[in-house]
A = this chain, B = another copy of it.
Amino acid sequence: MLDNTDKQLLELIQKDCRLTNAQLAAELNISASSCWRRIKSLEDIGLITGYHASIDRNIAGFAFSAIVHVSLSRQKADTVSTFVNAIRNRPEIMDCYATTGDADYHLRVVVEDINAFNKFLDEFLFPLPGIAHVKSNIVLKDVKQGGHLPFKIVGR
């Protein structure tokens, strides 16, 4: 399905998607049009989902971040979908994962300061239906972000 050239291509554009098509083609020793078609194909099958600029949240004035563990009371059937939709529409929530373990969901929230976080909890999260338990861990430091998927180049 993915050959080594695709994997190398994905490695490169994960790290820097502003490499020009010509630069990528040169790096991979293929023609520009072949490279371009590979990228289009990877987009078409949904493997590449988008291209995004990364921003330093501290320089941008978002100095407060927290990992929030949320558990739901699973009584009502649509509690989950209501929750998930609310999460997806709330801009302060950067990522959310449903997990096994003590909490049902792990959220990462980024805001300006502790007041904005308090407001987030009081006005958004706590009032959501079916919230059983919330535990917030304040982020002291972003140690690593945006690691790229480790494609294994076979052979060679």
A residues at B contact (CB < 8 Å):
2, 10, 13-18, 45-57, 59-62, 65-67, 84, 87-88, 91-103, 105-106, 108, 110, 135-151
Measured between alpha carbons, how far is A65 from B54 in the docked complex, in Å? 22
Closest B residue to A112 by CB, please name it.
B152
B147 A95 Cβ-Cβ under 8 A: yes
For A18, A99, A105, the residue with the greatest tally of chain B CB atoms inside 10 Å of its CB is: A99
* Residue of B15, B54, B138 touching A100 (CB-CB under 8 A): B138
Question: In the assembly, what is the distance between CA of A11 and CA of B100, in Å?
Answer: 33
Query: Nearest Cβ in chain B — how far from A29, in angstroms?
Result: 20
Shortest CB-to-CB span from A133 to chain B, Å, is 14
Bound form: Cα–Cα A88–B99 in Å: 23
Question: Which chain B residues border A52 with CB–CB below 8 Å?
Answer: 13-17, 51-52, 54, 146, 148
Partner of A148, one of B13, B91, B99: B91
Query: Contact at A53–B144, with CB atoms within 8 Å?
Result: no
Q: A60-B2, A143-B87 are in contact. Are A99 and B55 (CB under 8 A)?
A: no
Having A16-B52, A92-B147, A100-B140, one finds 6 other A-B pairs with CB under 8 Å, namely A16-B51, A18-B51, A47-B55, A51-B51, A51-B52, A99-B139
Contacts of A16 in B (CB 8 A): 50-52
